[in-house]
Amino acid sequence: MTTKSQRIIVLTDLDDSLFQTLKKIPEGVSSLPVATDRDNNPLSYMTNPQRIFFDMLVNSGAEIIPITGRNTDALERVSLPFGKYSSVSHGAIVLDDNNQVCAEWLQWLNIDTATFANLLDNINDRVQTIIHTQSLDARSRVIVDQGIPAYVSIKGMDSDLNEIYKALPEYNQHETLRFHRNGRNMAYIPAIFCKKNAAEFILKQLNVQPDDLVLTVGDSISDLPMMQTGTYAIAPLRSQLATDIFKTQLSE
């Protein structure tokens, strides 16, 4: 039985961790919609095993904190109960329970976020030029969330993303950037914006104590630093992260 000094806090990625698009769900597995697109059409679905897992967390009294690559608008389209804080746009922003940027987060960052605007715009311009000149089936844009230029989002087929990546060597190893890729999604993110920083900030705001249980959930290799902030780390078996771990272990 938990007490006030023995809480359960769950820091969790969302897409491909708690739910996914319908085409990613194996045939015969039941599911229900839990997130919509901009036109309010069902977009993301939670399978029955995922629902059981999530309900188990809710029924335990856990405070569930999203740590997601989604921007604020996309998070608001998720119909699941969450706790006081959340982090969006790959760790660029921490939101309070009113979905407003946490003032203490901006103070903690202590940077002029506008300094990233030109860099991200330049990357996006390069990507769009590559897409046009090579006739690639891909698209890109700079994600600006809550007025903060957060990252360059690139979506496309694997082969097209490979071509874009190969054409951007100066940004793939850039000292002020992080590179993220999972499935048909790719992103260039300012290095200071990361899920681990956001997770550590939120845990501090929640005044987490040694007796508290902190669970972390993620599916991408890029989620791993965030997942190391908890007591236990959980990854879906078919995820990029689990696949990489098992591949590494089996090759040793």
Instruction: For residue 152, give the nearest of 77, 73, 194, 89 by alpha carbon.
Output: 89
Pick the CATH number of 8-109+193-251 from 1.10.10.10, 3.40.50.150, 3.40.50.1000, 3.30.365.10: 3.40.50.1000
Predicted confidence at residue 108, as pLDDT, reads 86
CB–CB of 149/113 below 8 Å?
yes
Edge-to-edge strand list for the sheet holding 185-190:
138-145, 148-156, 185-190, 177-182
Whole-angstrom CA distances from 146 to 15, 99, 101, 150 are: 21, 10, 7, 9
Whole-number Å distance between alpha carbons of 53 and 210? 24
Domain ranges of the chain: 8-109+193-251, 115-190
Does the global pTM surpass 0.85? yes
| Both tokens assigned to 152 | 């360059």
CATH 3.30.70 describes domain 115-190: yes
Which one-letter DSSP state was computed for residue 216? Answer: E
pLDDT tens digits, 86-119? 999 999 999 998 889 998 998 888 777 777 899 9
Beta-sheet pairing, 185-190 with 148-156? antiparallel
Q: pLDDT band for position 5 (50/70/90)?
A: low
| Both tokens assigned to 24 | 């990613």
Predicted confidence at residue 217, as pLDDT, reads 98
